[in-house]
Structure 1
Amino acid sequence: MAAEMKRRELLRLMSMIGAFGVVPMSWGGVTAARNKVLVLLELNGGNDSLNTFVPLTQFDQYKVLRPKLHLQADERVKLDDEFALHNALSGLMPAWQDQDMALVHGLGYEQPNLSHFRSIEIWDTASKSDEYGEHGWLASGATKKTKYGIDALVLGRNAGPVTGLGNTVLQAQGLLKGFVAKGRQLEFKKNSAPHNAAYAHLLATQNTLSAVAKDLLPILRNTSAVKTPFPDTQLGKQLAEVALLINSGVDIPVYKVALSGFDTHRNQKAVHQRLLGVMGAAVSAFRQEMIRAGKWDDVVLMTYSEFGRRPKMNGSGGTDHGTAATHLVMGGKVKSGHIGEHPLLPVKDNANMQFTTDFRMLYQTIIDQWFEQPDVRLADGVEGKLPLFDKLS
């Protein structure tokens, strides 16, 4: 009975592992002394970027389209003469003022799909709207073994951007500490049935998880490595764990977290205020901790979402599925300012905005310039030449 319980627990743990391969792969070109890190923050549901980053140069049309939903003067914080920030994100103002935050405008793709499930697949795999990618856009790494043998850590939903091609991905549905504690209970076992491929794979996964847990659990228990107070939210706790691993020298190159609830078809103002408040407080604490620990130059944090929202508010005080959107990129080496052109707000009733920047250009820029992997190509004709970074070494 005890053995059966352990077997069931292993299978449950395995279901929480995105693609836990036995042979680790990792992004090449990264020295042990300065490990470059990408933190992906998925805004699940389709974030309304028009009420996140308000285009002041089109404010009159913005008010016409959103008579009850537009942000009043006391609901926004002015970034410059072109844009204002939702006041729930005011904690990110120091990043803008210190010039380590960029806004990438008009992100989207041709023939946009407005299904949550299909569109997030497109963003995760960097595919065209009529293509079905087989692996995540961050799965194409070079074979350089890392100390902990993990290519990506996903806390929460959707490991899509990092899975495939033999990538070693550790995914925990909540916090990593609890997941690793479960894995620590698994015993290391020798293969007693070498000709049984299914059993061999199960056993190899168990042993790999057990070994990783043995290494990571003491690190996760050493909470003194993080000095900055993080908010008592799920996102805050997850980013605190990410900060702890980075501070402790764990050489995982990609982390992914998510914040859900952005499908704001009704009563958007209050819901959006709450969600952006959760995001702003957690990201601000993460930035402060990375600066304190001297790691901010090694980190890039980037938001993404399956789509934006329609410019015109609906009859329920919300917004429906849209297309182009603005997203933020932060980090000590990020070149601050506006990248790309914000789409024109439509005059035609209930029309969508037209994208101005192919989202794959942003991804390719991360691959080319941050991870220094110019041989990894996402798509023909997509160049990674966005002016996103300053003084990379």
Structure 2
Amino acid sequence: MMKIEKEINLSDYTYSLPDERIAKYPLAKRDQSKLLHYHAGIIEHKNFKDIQELIPNQATLFFNNTKVIPARLIFHKSTGAQIEIFLLKPISPSPILSVVMEERETVLWECMIGNVKKWKEDIPLARILTLADKEIQLQASIYDREKRQVQFTWNDASVSFSEIVEASGKVPLPPYLNRQPEADDKPRYQTVYSAHDGAVAAPTAGLHFTPEILKSLSDRGIEESFLTLHVSAGTFQPIKTENILEHPMHSEQMVVNRSSIQNVVDAKKSIIAIGTTSMRTLESLYWYGVRLINGNEHFAIQKLEPYQTTQNITRSEAFTAILEWMDKNELNQVIGTTEIFIFPGYQFRVCDGLITNFHQPGSTLILLVAAFIGEDWRKVYDKADKNGYRFLSYGDSSFLVP
């Protein structure tokens, strides 16, 4: 069993982040960012284009191909009061994002509602959208105020909810950017390989990759594999408890194809996660394999589940168990949820390397980095600060190999 302390203090995982270090806008070109390369305790300063040479031969890269949806929907009451509805997670007709995004005429979501006190009378809010020269009326109604559930309906069954959101929503920029989205944010707050609608925050480690870099890696024989974790707004939720173990970890939906699970089993050498979301997905899949070996088929990884087993199951055994279960049930993909909480003391079962941006002080993501490279996280962040790196979602990158 992994050792878990009775208390892990948030104050041990904070650092000074001056506002000028926060990248408020993306660079003109994705691959112009700096890259801090940490390997075996050594730090080198590179350009992100150098990643093409830094990835070791026969490595397998895992990318999160979730697609950010314009999750901020703005409505106005007849009085002129603005109500902002931020999509969090689908409720009906299905909790599965890919299903809901293709739904026609009506959907139900759990939301954050800005200015909700002015939406008292529960009269539906409405706005007119123009799609392919057609006018469509979109309505939003409070379905359950206490649970913050909002029902959306529209009057054209030929139009999917994905198209509705694309036509009406705004890019959900991280709150710490403290600015409204602009035209350039729509393409730039999205990876070039994004494919599946559902995220309300970008898997930002992938923002640095260009088609040219991906081709260069492929030409070297580097294996590329894709999985989907729909990043939730909880990724920005600050830890408010001094003992981080008391933090209520957010849950996120994962969708992983059989080929990606097979690629873990077949990996010749190191497995490198592109971003903390890919890392969370891969590590969660391992624990799902452990569940299956123990006869539990329910795919919902709990916050502290990894810290509660004494079993020593290999990566190959865990992922083979998933493949066997998929074969038995004639499935080509697995869909589950994870609220895995990775903090110092966690024993990594799948990932050998991590490409990631520089994260907020005292965040769950800093804890993950500290779990991966140990106390050297402070050295990494100090060097980044002193060498003028740009921090957070639109900032520079790091390639971490313990």
Q: Which has the higher contact order (CA 8 A, sep 6+)?
A: 1
TM-score clears 0.5: no
The alignment's TM-score, normalised by the length of structure 2, stands at 0.25
More strand by share: 2
